[in-house]
């Protein structure tokens, strides 16, 4: 029996992004964890021969010693079967929906250029921090000829997640007001739980949501899974198995999401100890993540996100070329009037609004 196509991605959020979100004033001075955590990620994924789309934050690719050691670490994703470098904004500010156009362009373009220059890869996908994806962002992506946006998290618990974030963090005043719109608000529930085409002016690009549990719309990304596992391994495994089964039953092409803390545990940096599931020992956490990834790899033919898109939708390939093509040769066909078509892959080739 052939396995349906799926994808796996990671938001490469560095420690400073979590500390800033939690209201820590010294967030910019705290050391990052990318070299340490990427080593573990590559080990675990390598064992299951899994590929990965990595959403990189531009701020971490700075032109100094810290930036260079981050770049070295990110280049070790070369040890994976396949990987894709994608754009996760410059400063990881989770309120792009409140920015003016100039700031949105800078957030996306600066990171785009830094990835091309330091990693030699041309990003074709974007995920907004805090799952924010207004048309103003899509317009910039379309100008840059991106193939997809991945900023939708169509969960039923977005309002709860947002409330938990607000309770846990020390944000005040304007920052607090902005944070109230995190996770896409209540409208996230009306979004499809499968990839669909979005039209912006005269061009289109694919929206590839972070897959949630079919029907219940509860999260199945790994931070939620390891959070469940910190209470009960059995409950977490049952939940994940159900999610995988429902995706297959409903023909939902899954795109699952990892974060660096999924590979960190109680022996690691105390700065992160406030984070859910950080009370688990590293060994236990890696064991449960490994178990889930193996089940995912057995059930689905897992690709990078651009790989999933190219292999599921006819017409994408000639538009974008190969995902790892040399950044020095960005011969981009025009995106205007582009029309993609979907086969039986579970992608929806009609506009959704
Ligand atoms: Zn992020």
pLDDT in tens, 26-61: 999 988 999 999 999 999 999 999 999 999 999 999
Question: Which stretch of DSSP H or E encloses residue 68?
Answer: helix 65-75
Output the CA 2–ligand 1 centroid distance in Å: 33
What local confidence, expressed as pLDDT, does residue 159 receive? 57
269 CA to centre of ligand 1 in angstroms: 19
**In the beta sheet, which residues pair with residue 198?**
205
Is residue 304's pLDDT more than 80? yes
Dihedral sign, Cα of residue 188, residue 191, residue 196, residue 199: negative
Q: Which CATH number fits domain 5-320+336-344: 3.20.20.370, 3.30.43.10, 3.30.1370.160, 3.40.50.300?
A: 3.20.20.370
CA of 21 to the centre of ligand 1 (A): 11
Q: For residue 152, report the distance from its CA to the centre of ligand 1, in Å.
A: 12
321 CA to middle of ligand 1, Å?
27
Pairwise CA distance, residues 183 & 26, whole Å:
25
The whole-number pLDDT of residue 42 equals 98
Q: Are 236 and 175 in contact (CB under 8 A)?
A: no
**CA dihedral in degrees (29, 110, 123, 19; nearest 10)?**
20
CA 280, CA 269: separation in Å to the nearest integer? 13
Sign (positive or negative) of CA dihedral 84, 107, 21, 61: positive
Do 196 and 211 meet the contact criterion of CB atoms below 8 Å apart?
Answer: no
Output the average pLDDT for the chain: 86
Instruction: Give percent of the chain with pLDDT exceeding 90.
Output: 64
Q: Is the pLDDT of residue 1 over 70?
A: yes
Percent of the chain residues past pLDDT 70, beyond the cut = 81
Distance 332 CA to ligand 1 centre (A): 28
Q: Tell how far the Cα of 79 is from the centroid of ligand 1, in angstroms.
A: 23
- Mean pLDDT, to the nearest integer, of 281-303? 96
Domain boundary assignment for the chain: 5-320+336-344
pLDDT tens digits for range 81-92 = 999 999 999 999
Per residue in 192-227, pLDDT (tens digit) is 999 999 998 888 999 999 999 998 898 998 888 999
Compute, in angstroms, the gap from residue 237 CA to the centroid of ligand 1. 25
Structure-token pair, residue 123:
């990003």
Q: Measured in angstroms, how far is the CA atom of residue 1 from the centroid of ligand 1?
A: 36
Among 51, 48, 46, 39, CA closest to 10: 51
d(CA 58, CA 165): 24
Q: Where are the beta strands (DSSP E) in the chain?
A: 5-11, 52-56, 83-87, 125-126, 148-149, 196-200, 203-207, 255-258, 301-303, 313-314, 341-342, 348-351
Q: Is the pLDDT of residue 110 over 90?
A: yes
Q: How confident is the model at residue 2 (pLDDT cuts 50, 70, 90)?
A: confident
Distance 331 CA to ligand 1 centre (A): 29
CA of 201 to the centre of ligand 1 (A): 27
Greatest alpha-carbon span in the chain:
55
**What's the average model confidence in pLDDT over 262-287?**
90
Comparing 133 with 91, the larger pLDDT belongs to 91
Place of tokens 């080739």: 349
Q: How far is the CA of 88 from the centre of ligand 1 (A)?
A: 7
CA of 349 to the centre of ligand 1 (A): 27
């Amino acid at each position: 029996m052939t396995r349906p196509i799926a994808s796996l991605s990671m938001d490469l959020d560095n420690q400073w992004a979590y500390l800033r979100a939690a209201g820590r004033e010294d967030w910019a001075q705290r050391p990052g964890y990318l070299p340490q955590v990427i080593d573990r990620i590559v080990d675990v994924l390598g064992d299951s021969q899994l590929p990965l789309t990595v959403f990189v934050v531009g701020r971490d690719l700075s032109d100094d010693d810290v930036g260079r050691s981050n770049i070295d670490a990110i280049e070790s994703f070369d040890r994976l079967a396949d990987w894709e470098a994608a754009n996760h904004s410059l400063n990881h500010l989770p309120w792009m929906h409140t920015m003016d156009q100039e700031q949105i362009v800078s957030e996306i373009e600066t990171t785009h250029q830094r990835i091309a220059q330091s990693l030699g890869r041309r990003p074709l996908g974007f995920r907004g921090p805090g799952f924010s994806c207004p048309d103003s962002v899509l317009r910039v992506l379309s100008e840059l000829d991106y193939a997809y946006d991945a900023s939708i998290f169509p969960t039923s618990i977005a309002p709860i997640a947002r409330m938990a974030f607000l309770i846990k963090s020390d944000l005040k005043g304007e920052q607090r007001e902005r944070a109230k719109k995190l996770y896409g608000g209540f409208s996230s529930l009306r979004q499809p739980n499968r990839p669909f085409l979005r039209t912006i002016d005269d061009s289109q690009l694919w929206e590839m949501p972070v897959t949630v549990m079919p029907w219940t719309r509860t999260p199945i990304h790994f931070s939620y899974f390891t959070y469940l596992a910190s209470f009960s391994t059995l409950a977490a495994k049952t939940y994940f198995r159900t999610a995988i089964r429902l995706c297959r039953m409903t023909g939902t092409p899954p795109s699952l999401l990892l974060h660096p803390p999924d590979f960190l545990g109680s022996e690691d940096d105390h700065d992160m100890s406030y984070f859910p599931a950080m009370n688990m020992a590293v060994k236990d956490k890696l064991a449960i993540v490994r178990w889930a990834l193996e089940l995912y790899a057995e059930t689905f033919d897992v690709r990078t996100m651009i790989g999933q898109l190219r292999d599921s939708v006819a017409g994408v390939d000639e538009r974008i070329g190969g995902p790892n093509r040399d950044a020095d040769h960005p011969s981009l066909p025009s995106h205007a009037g582009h029309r993609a078509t979907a086969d039986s892959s579970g992608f929806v080739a009609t506009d959704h609004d």
